[in-house]
Amino acid sequence: MISNNEIHIAKFCIESALRQGASAARASLTKSIIDSSMMLNGELDKVTHSADRSIYLYIYADGRYGTFSTNRLVENELEDFIRKAIEMVKMLGEDECRRLPDAERTAADAQTGQELDLYDRCIRDSSSTGRLERSRQLSRYGTLSTGSDEDGFICMPGETPAFRLISEECEYTESLEDNYVCDSQGFEGRHTETSFSAFSEMTIEDKDGNKYSGFWWEATPKFSELDLSECSGKALEKAVRQIGPRPRRGGRYRMVVDCNAASRLVSPLFTALNASSIQQKMSFLDDSVGKRIFPKGFTIMDMARTVGKAGSRLFDTEGVATRDCPIIEDGVVKQYFVNTYMAGKMGLEPTIEDISRPCILPYLEGEALPLAEKGLSLEGILKHCGNGILVTGFNGGNCNPATGDFSFGVEGFAFSRGRVTHPVREMLITGNMIELWNNLIAAGTDARSSARWQIPSLAFEGVSFSA
């Protein structure tokens, strides 16, 4: 945890900057500890310990601005570092829009860092022995190996084909991140967050020597909420389900995207809603605020202040207070992400600099679906859609920020009459973001509660697949 002495160092940086000629300054001190224990094929493979501490300085002088960072937190070195920083800032071009946010917009309720209940004190009692034990708990290598036949092949219950386990990698990680921000207007904010996470990746081989891999992760701010028992099993299931892909002809299909992959289709929207993209003419959502760009009933909220949930935060990097608010509501774009600088450049009201914890509300064929009314699972969406392709992962691709034209590699399964039939791979989807989202059929209620982005499974009509 950040000590009083380190808070003193951050404040010293502000004082030093002002004393040496800055008109305003902000300091952001981050301290983190990460411990990981990794297993390969049931045996300990790697143990790592990371302990970082650095300070980021945002310095304003003579209408000019620069950013500087160092992990050398010794006062006499910092004094010299800041002197050189201010010298450099004064060489840069003048830009009157560079300034701190209005003080009344900064968060006043982030004093201890623990207001959002994202810190688990049990991390203080953590030990390398405990971490090793948890990584061992993740492994299923021993059980699987003993269940194999004399050629090393394993048969799972049900109709899945036999496979050989090539490798199992499991990782258990604990981390603590503590961030303290202060500025020359008197703002002080703190955010403290722990994370306990598990990751498993399985690589298998079928009887023809073809390899398949699958991974799964779990993560939570509270250790007691972490479930280690299913991680490797789910990774294995994901690998095994891919055995025996069959070609699928290109064409237009209904596309269902599993909640574990769906954020890939959402992130271009947030990039396009960033004022910096719009100001640089690199956004396909230019001039969209207040307009119904997306289908009626479609809503994305920023639930930045949800207590106890990863991704929540009370302030952004400028110290501006976050709020729970709609970004897109009933298909209408409600706001851009506008930081103080962009507000000045574009003559807009400042908002927040970026989304914190996006949440897509349930949706079905042109209607918002009240959350309390009915759950909508992946199975329910597949049933509703009948036939098409279920995308469970993306493989490369990109989205043109100026036009919204995208092309992504995908992998997944063909489905028919609401049931998965066979795996597909080496396929591509191509289209335009705005057209894609206007062909939204459904957004489920199955977003993973542990995810920072609350993106459920999604379904779209008439997506162009190439194969």
Partner 1 sequence: MNGKQYYLDIFKVSESQLKTLTDTALSHGGDFSDLYFEHTTFFNLLLKDGVVSSGGFHTDFGVGIRVLKGEKTGYAYSENTEMSDMLQAAKAASAIAIGTCGAREYMSVNDRVHDLYPVQRNWRDCSAETFLPFLKDLEKEIFSRDPRIIKVIARMSDSVSDVMMFNSLGELTCDTRPMGSVTATAVFQQNGKTENKTASRSFRIGAEFISKDLVMELADEVVRGIDERFEATRPKGGQMAVVMGAGASGILLHEAMGHAFEADFNRKGQSIFSDKMGQRVCPKGVNVVDDGTVAFNRGSGNYDDEGVPAQKTYMVEDGVLCSYLHDRISASWYGVPSTGNGRRENFRYNPIPRMRATYMESGSADPQGIIADVRQGIYVDEFSNGQVKIGEGDFTFFVKSGFLIENGRLTAPVKDINIIGNGPQALADIVAVGNDLKIDNGTWTCGKEQSVPVSCGMPTVLISSLTVGGE
Cβ at position 344, least distance to partner 1 in Å: 11
- Residue 428 interacting with partner 1 (CB under 8 A): yes
Task: Single out the residue of 145, 317, 377, 464 in contact with partner 1 (rule: CB under 8 A).
Answer: 464
- Residue 92 interacting with partner 1 (CB under 8 A): yes
Cβ at position 69, least distance to partner 1 in Å: 4
Task: Single out the residue of 15, 47, 117, 207 in contact with partner 1 (rule: CB under 8 A).
Answer: 47
Residue closer to partner 1 (CB basis): 144 or 360 = 144
Residue closer to partner 1 (CB basis): 127 or 146 = 127
**DSSP secondary structure letter of residue 162:** P
Cβ at position 253, least distance to partner 1 in Å: 13
Name the region of 117 (left: φ>0; alpha: ψ -120 to 50; beta: rest): left
The neighbouring-strand residues paired with 321 are 315
Residues 230-269 binding partner 1 (CB under 8 A) are: 242, 250
Distance between CA atoms of residues 262 and 466, nearest Å: 19
Q: Is 307 exposed, middle or buried (0-12, 13-18, 19+ CB in 10 A)?
A: exposed
Task: Single out the residue of 425, 441, 442, 455 in contact with partner 1 (rule: CB under 8 A).
Answer: 425
Answer yes or no: are the C-beta atoms of 441 and 426 closer than 8 Å: no
Task: Single out the residue of 99, 345, 422, 452 in contact with partner 1 (rule: CB under 8 A).
Answer: 345
Residue closer to partner 1 (CB basis): 50 or 416 = 50
- Residue 95 interacting with partner 1 (CB under 8 A): yes
Cβ at position 83, least distance to partner 1 in Å: 12
- Residue 422 interacting with partner 1 (CB under 8 A): no
Cβ at position 346, least distance to partner 1 in Å: 11
- Residue 166 interacting with partner 1 (CB under 8 A): yes
Distance between CA atoms of residues 20 and 184, nearest Å: 13
Task: Using alpha carbons, select from 38, 223, 35, 221 the residue that is nearest to residue 128.
Answer: 35
- Residue 3 interacting with partner 1 (CB under 8 A): no
Cβ at position 175, least distance to partner 1 in Å: 13
- Residue 448 interacting with partner 1 (CB under 8 A): no
- Residue 71 interacting with partner 1 (CB under 8 A): yes
Under 8 Å CB-to-CB from 238, ≥6 apart: which residues? 202, 214, 215, 216, 392
* CB environment 445-457: b (16+ within 10 A), e (fewer): bbbeebbebbbbb
Cβ at position 95, least distance to partner 1 in Å: 4
Stretch that binds partner 1, among 49-57, 135-143, 354-362, 381-389 (CB under 8 A): 49-57
H helices, E strands: number in the chain: 10, 19
Residues 125-154 binding partner 1 (CB under 8 A) are: 128
Residue closer to partner 1 (CB basis): 84 or 383 = 84
Alpha helices in 335-405 (DSSP H): 340-346, 378-385
Task: Single out the residue of 4, 76, 91, 150 in contact with partner 1 (rule: CB under 8 A).
Answer: 91
Tokens coding 275: 């004022």
The neighbouring-strand residues paired with 50 are 34
Decide: helix, strand or coil at residue 4: helix
Distance between CA atoms of residues 108 and 444, nearest Å: 35
